[in-house]
Chain A
């Protein structure tokens, strides 16, 4: 995470709206952001049962344009971007020349260009890296005048339908026609919205890119619905942890390779065969299971949560790994965590010891996601 203390904190477009709803604001990724409204536990459970509205405007929205833009992006990400159909989204990784993970990102083929959503804490570094690595004829637009809202939860579709958001063209789909990892342009009255069926909570849901000047109107209209409440960063973190989703700067960083991070699914077959992406030699040398360590899920035996920074130890007390995210699962009512452990200890059911504040705590390697995903997937034909 970036050092928030030394820089001036920026305000989100919805800053005053969050405060008017009683949000507690904290520094995160260079912004003052709402960490909670009524409480993390209640907000978390609300999202799992209804729909929560998250302000993720701190994240970077970037458009890449120009001839051959997909092939140009493929030089630095391992995802199969040139095969991505119009209106489809792919999760991929921005890789350094040595294969270390610089960021994780969503790439959408809008049909005319590529639309990227990158992490808030890394967006300025990402943009500098894109500018340095992409050919000159690819132009980059950092869409700083757009806010980004995430509506997440099993009632997200039902709620969004009530806003009567229309298609951009009469014969185009409406937002609820989208399946998981699909996106399109829409109109809400005379306000243009870019909507994708995606998110980072494990639930069905949408991410909505809206001009910042209209963000408050949209957020208020959504939160006026019975199904929707505003949800803070605290619950966003516990939701994504239950969903087994890694968080950049915590569960992965520039010292971690994709296979170690258990992100093999982001290394598409065609790209593995071509091998022409950032750090491919080093990345592929670990594929599919030749890394020395692996990101795994942990159940904690007992009720005490283990946190980022706790150390995985062997029977002699030597450090052999680290916890990178940890907390209490409101859905399961017990502590869960993610950690890097030696490959030999990465199988589900393996018992390991984590040391926290000098105290050994027994844990068991667990399957992820901890809570099943509830995505609105396209039915298989």
Chain B
């Protein structure tokens, strides 16, 4: 399994043709206490860069963009009951949705962990 990152602070785990997407620990830290996550519909077709989800903190709503194109095959239903999972486990249990990748070449534009860390350090 390989993990990729976007400059919008999403992470993407790729296993075969399936990608799992969430927001990074840095992003959850910036957003603060998360009280609601609006995930995409299963079956929705996402283009890279589309609005895919909305994360609501106590104070504000933030868009989450589709890091990769593909069809949504699963969403994290645990977030419905426990949105704070994004705060406590952003890069594992707090994942948002899974897609079947429609264009694997998009991954070439994303960062690896080392590059993302360097990106965050200069923010």
Could you tell me which A residues sit within 8 Å of B by CB distance?
Answer: 36, 39-42, 44, 234, 237-238, 303-305, 307, 327-328, 330, 335, 357
Closest 8 CB pairs of A and B: A41-B33, A328-B35, A40-B58, A328-B58, A304-B36, A234-B59, A305-B56, A303-B36
Whether A328 touches B36, Cβ cut-off 8 Å, given contacts A40-B57, A41-B58, A237-B59, is yes
Q: Taking CB as reference atom, which chain B residue is nearest A42?
A: B33
**Cβ of B60 under 8 Å from chain A:** yes
CA distance A234 to B58 in the complex (A): 8
Q: Which residues of chain B from 65 to 80 have a CB within 8 Å of any chain A CB?
A: 80
CB neighbours (8 Å) of B80 from chain A are 303
Which residues of chain A are within 8 angstroms of B57 by Cβ–Cβ distance? 40, 328
Q: Which residues of B contact A234 (CB under 8 A)?
A: 32, 58-59
- Complex Cα distance, B32 from A237, in Å, reads 15
In the bound complex, residues from chain B placing their C-beta under 8 Å from that of A36 are: 32
| Inter-subunit contact A327/B36 (CB<8 Å) | no
B35 contacts A305, CB within 8 Å? yes
Q: Which residues on the B side are within 8 Å of A41 (C-beta)? A: 32-33, 58
User: How many angstroms from the CA of A286 to the CA of B27 in the assembled complex?
Assistant: 48
Residues on B with C-beta less than 8 A from A327 are 58-59
Q: Which residues of B contact A305 (CB under 8 A)?
A: 35-36, 56, 61
Please, could you name 30 A-B residue pairs with CB atoms under 8 Å apart, sorted by A?
A36-B32, A39-B32, A39-B33, A40-B32, A40-B33, A40-B57, A40-B59, A41-B32, A41-B33, A41-B58, A234-B32, A234-B59, A238-B58, A303-B36, A303-B80, A303-B83, A304-B36, A304-B38, A305-B56, A305-B61, A307-B60, A307-B61, A327-B58, A327-B59, A328-B35, A328-B56, A328-B57, A328-B58, A330-B33, A335-B35
Interface size on B, residues (CB 8 A): 14
- B78 → chain A closest CB, angstroms: 14
- What is the number of contacts between chain A and chain B, taking CB atoms within 8 Å? 44
Against A, the Cβ 8 Å flags (1 = close, 0 = not) of B80-115 are 100100000000000000000000000000000000
User: How close is B90's CB to chain A, nearest CB, in angstroms?
Assistant: 15
Given the complex, which residues of B lie within 8 Å of A42, measured CB to CB?
33
Given contact pairs A328-B57, A357-B54, enumerate 13 new A-B contacts (beta carbons under 8 Å).
A36-B32, A40-B32, A40-B33, A41-B58, A42-B33, A44-B58, A303-B36, A303-B80, A305-B35, A305-B56, A305-B61, A330-B58, A335-B35
Alpha-carbon gap, A42 to B59, bound state (A): 13
Contacts of B60 in A (CB 8 A): 307
B81 nearest in chain A by CB position: A303
| Residues of chain A lying within 8 A (CB to CB) of residue B38 | 304
Question: In the complex, are the beta carbons of A303 and B35 less than 8 A apart?
Answer: yes
A238 and B57 CA atoms in complex are apart in Å by 11
Chain A residues with CB under 8 A of B58: 40-41, 44, 234, 238, 327-328, 330
Q: How far is the CA of A234 from the CA of B83 in the complex (A)?
A: 19
Q: B32-59 toward A: CB 8 Å interface, digit per residue (1/0)?
A: 1101101000000000000000101111
Docked CA distance A41–B32 (Å): 8
Chain A residues near B56 (CB-CB < 8 A): 304-305, 328
CB of B59 within 8 A of CB of A238, answer yes
Give the distance to chain A from B122, nearest Cβ to Cβ, in Å: 18
Shortest CB-to-CB span from A304 to chain B, Å, is 5
Q: How distant is the Cα of A42 from the Cα of B58 in the complex, in angstroms? A: 11
Set of chain A residues within 8 Å of B59, measured between Cβ atoms: 40, 234, 237-238, 327
- Expressed in whole angstroms, the minimum distance between the Cβ of A333 and any Cβ of chain B is 9
State the CA gap A355–B83 with chains docked (Å): 22
* CA distance in complex: A158, B105 (Å): 63
**Closest chain B residue to A307, Cβ basis:** B61
**In angstroms, how far is the closest chain B Cβ from the Cβ of A26?**
11
Q: Which residue of A lies closest to B61 (CB)?
A: A307
A residues near B35, Cβ cutoff 8 Å: 303, 305, 328, 335
How far is A94 from B32 in the complex, measured between Cα atoms in Å?
Answer: 36
Residue among B33, B58, B59, B61 with the highest chain A CB neighbour number at 10 A = B58
Most buried by A among B33, B35, B54: B35
Which residues of chain A are near B83, meaning CB under 8 Å?
303
Chain B residues within an 8 Å CB radius of A328? 35-36, 56-58
Bound CA–CA A164/B38 (angstroms): 51
The CA of A328 and the CA of B83, in the complex, are separated in Å by 13
A236 → chain B closest CB, angstroms: 11
